[in-house]
Each structure stands twice: as C-alpha cells, then as structure tokens.
Amino acid sequence: MGAQNNQPKVTSRISLSELGREPFRIFFPAAVLAGLFGVSLWPLFFGGMTSLYPGQGHARIMAYGFFGGFIFGFLGTAMPRMLSVPPLGLRNVSLLFTLYVAMNIAFATGHVAWGDGLFATLLVFFATAMILRVRHREALPPPGFVLVGMSFACVFAAAVMALWQHQNPETGAYWHSLQKLLGYQGFVLLPILGIGPFILPRFFGMPSSHDLPDSIKPSSAWRKKAVLALSAGLLIVVSFFIEAAGNLKVAYGLRFIVTAAYLLLEFPFRTAKAGGNALTLSLRLALALMAAGFLAVMLFPAYRTGLLHLTLMGGFAVVTFVVATRVIFGHSGNLAKLKLPNRWVFVAVSLMIMAMATRLSGDLWPKLMVSHYNYGVLVWAAGVLLWAWKVLPRVLEAEPED
C-alpha cells in the first residue's frame, strides 16, 4: 500500500471533453491574445498602420475580451463544481467561445455595435447555462459570490445601454459615462472583491472564512458574509452613479473607502505572515495598487484617465494573472510548484508595473504621450509573454490521477 502511494503522478494531455468541464483551458489563452491585441491598437494607430481610433475598441477588448475571457473561463470552470452540478459541456463551451471570438473580432475591426450585440448575447447564454444548473444545485456558492452576480447585472445593463446609444446617438453624457463605469469597472472590480476572499487566502496557506460547509440553505454565517458583500457592492454601484453625475472626488472617495475597507475585513492581510514568495508579494502589491488608483483619482481628478491605470494595469490585471496562475497550476497537477520562489513572476509583474508607469507618464506629460504609450505597450507585452511562456503550456496538461 505504501509503495502504491509513493508512485509518481502521471501527467497526460487533455481531451476535448475536458474543455467542456474546464473552459478556462481555452478561454485563458484567448484572453491573453485579446489583451495583447487590445494594447497593440495604440501603436498601430500612432504608426499609421490603421486609421481606426482605438478608443472604444481598445477599452472594450480589454474589458470584455481580456478580463472577460478570464472571468468566463474561471466561472465556467468553478461554478458547476461549487454548486455540485454538471459542467457546462463541450457544446455550451463551443457556443460561448464562438460568441467570444466573434465579439473580439467585431471590436478589433471597428464594428463596435456588432461587438456590443455579441457581448450581450454571450452574457445571456452564459447566465442561462448557469441558471439552469443553479436550480439543481446541491450546495451554495461562497457568500462573496453575490458580487459576481452583481457584476453580471452591471455589465449586462452596460451592454443594453450601449446598444441603445448606438441607435440613439443623442443620448446624454451622463448615460455614456454610466455605461462605461458599469461595463469597465463594475464587471472586473466586483468579481475580484467577490471571489478574492474565497481563493486568495490559499496563496498564504490560510483557510478562507468564505469556505463554509456545503448546504442548500444559507446558514447565518453565510448570510452575514453575503450581506456585507452585497452592501459593499451596492455602495460601489452608487459611486458609479455619482461619478456619472460629475462629482469625481466624492465618487472615487467612496469607491476607495469601500474597496479598502472590504479588503481589510475580508482578505487575509492582517493575519497572513510577512514575506512570502513572488505570488503572494505580487498579490499584496496588486491589491494595494487597485485601491491606490481610486485614491489618486480622488486627489487629482484632472488626471483621472491616466491614474486609473494604477487600478486597471497594476491592480486588476496583476490580480488576474496571479489567480490564473493558481487555476492553471492547480488543474494540471503542479500546485506544489506555487510554493517555490518563482522568481520569473517578479520579472513578469515588474514589467507590467513598469508598463503601467510608462502609460501613466504619457498622460502626465502630453509631449511624451505617443512614445510612452508605445513603450508601455511593448513592456506590458513582454511581461505578459513571459507569463504566458511559463504558465499557458500547462493548460494542455490534464490533472493527473494517483
């Protein structure tokens, strides 16, 4: 018996059926490609290789293509397991992925209205597939996942508003601003806050307070955590309405306070051991930058667009890559390797942070904008490609059996 336990685990290549059980294996690589293409739109435009101004296309590809690919891949894999229901299956995953690819192509070619329509359709099909499974659930998701549901409500509202605006160009600035906030920030910030308390403590070798015993009915502990998450989410959504009305200082002050308070209350920083390896240090830095971006905009609202990249590039993106690393390593039998120093993570994240600073400086010094936008793209792409080289090949490795 002991000799059998000491046998090494055998790693095999995935089969098509595993894409239906674990859609992250196809969505994560596609999200990386979307992100690389989304940032490349700026140097292509400045270099005269395309006449399409990348404003809307870049923003939508990064929000719905880059971040969206990771969100769909993660939730499509994790939610059926958490609910103890059947996986999405190859047919559903194929449909969702086809819509996802078509959406990105539409945005990249300047057909923004088509892209918004495809994205709204993608959301409807994804939500329907999940709702059909929720009815047969044998367990509740972690309480923080109420924020995931809220994020999908926000982004679906944003998609509907965008479609309305395409048909009614005279729509006021308030609604345009609100649409972008719900779609770009709400779609990413709320899932990070909702999923984070469940998965991030594992990086520090700590139990999660959101990892509660399986039950179909919510316990008192589940309800308390869910109410706290819901309250934080509602306040963040309120801040979007305040910002759309033009009061940036109040909006970002509220967003900073709520985000920072929720991070301190529900994330493991206060009790986690100091130090750690590259992944844990990257997480600490990313979550600090995520909140710092909101604080910076509150203090210097005139530089809102540039300063938000503290949150978007330094916060959202780095957290996304760190969590994706754990998902891919965990589902390929390489989870133990996350405890190693993994110095390559420092290099990849450092390049991403350097790119963030370069992009930000382009807004602070307009004379340098074009060159710094281009440099920022190249440096960010270098960091992402390093991450992809070290991590993405493992999406082809099936989780080994003993």
Q: Of 109, 93, 120, which Cα lies nearest the Cα of 18?
A: 93
Q: Is the pLDDT of residue 385 over 50?
A: yes
How many structural domains are present in the chain?
3
**295-309 average pLDDT score:** 93
Instruction: Identify the weakest region by mean pLDDT among 21-25, 189-193, 248-252, 363-367.
Output: 363-367
Q: Is the pLDDT of residue 91 over 90?
A: yes
The parent domain of residue 331 ranges over 276-397
Calculate what percentage of the chain has a pLDDT beyond 90.
Answer: 62
Instruction: Identify the weakest region by mean pLDDT among 290-294, 298-302, 303-307.
Output: 303-307
Residues 120 and 185 in one domain: no
339 in any annotated domain: yes
pLDDT of residue 270: 67
Residues 74 and 101 in one domain: yes
Residues 124 and 20 in one domain: yes
pLDDT of residue 232: 96
Confidence label for 1 from pLDDT (cuts 50, 70 and 90): very low
Q: How far is CA 374 from the centre of its chain?
A: 24
SS (H, E, C) the chain: CHHHHCCCCECCECCHHHHHHCCHHHHHHHHHHHHHHHHHHHHHHHCCCCCCCCHHHHHHHHHHHHHHHHHHHHHHHHHHHHHCCCCCHHHHHHHHHHHHHHHHHHHHCCCHHHHHHHHHHHHHHHHHHHHHHHCCCCCCCCHHHHHHHHHHHHHHHHHHHHHHHHHCCCCCHHHHHHHHHHHHHHHHHHHHHHHHHHHHHHHHCCCCCCCCCCCCCCCHHHHHHHHHHHHHHHHHHHHHHHHHCCCHHHHHHHHHHHHHHHHHHHCCCCCCCCCCCHHHHHHHHHHHHHHHHHHHHHHCHHHHHHHHHHHHHHHHHHHHHHHHHHHHHHCCCCHHHHHCCCHHHHHHHHHHHHHHHHHHHHHHCHHHHHHHHHHHHHHHHHHHHHHHHHHHHHHHECCCEC
Calculate what percentage of the chain has a pLDDT beyond 70.
Answer: 95
Residues 247 and 353 in one domain: no
pLDDT of residue 6: 47
Residues 305 and 339 in one domain: yes
87 in any annotated domain: yes
Residues 28 and 130 in one domain: yes
Residue pLDDT, tens place only, 38-73: 999 888 888 878 777 777 888 999 999 999 999 999
pLDDT greater at residue 333 or residue 190? 190
Residues 137 and 150 in one domain: no
Of 141, 169, 194, which marks where a domain is finished? 141
Q: Is the pLDDT of residue 103 over 90?
A: yes
Residue pLDDT, tens place only, 225-273: 999 999 999 999 999 999 999 999 999 999 999 999 999 998 866 666 7
Total-model pTM: 0.93
Residues 232 and 290 in one domain: no
Residues 65 and 152 in one domain: no
Confidence label for 30 from pLDDT (cuts 50, 70 and 90): very high
Residue pLDDT, tens place only, 321-367: 999 999 999 888 888 888 888 899 999 999 999 999 988 887 777 77
- Which backbone phi and psi does 90 adopt, to 5 degrees? -65, -35
Of 118, 141, 164, which marks where a domain is finished? 141
Confidence label for 311 from pLDDT (cuts 50, 70 and 90): very high
71 in any annotated domain: yes
179 in any annotated domain: yes
pLDDT greater at residue 57 or residue 93? 93
Of 121, 141, 161, which marks where a domain is finished? 141
Residues 31 and 58 in one domain: yes
Residues 179 and 266 in one domain: yes
pLDDT of residue 96: 97
pLDDT of residue 363: 75
Residues 359 and 257 in one domain: no
**137-163 average pLDDT score:** 93
**365-384 average pLDDT score:** 85
165 in any annotated domain: yes
Confidence label for 137 from pLDDT (cuts 50, 70 and 90): confident
In the block, which residue shows the tokens 């906030």? 181
pLDDT of residue 5: 47
- Average pLDDT taken over every residue of the chain: 89
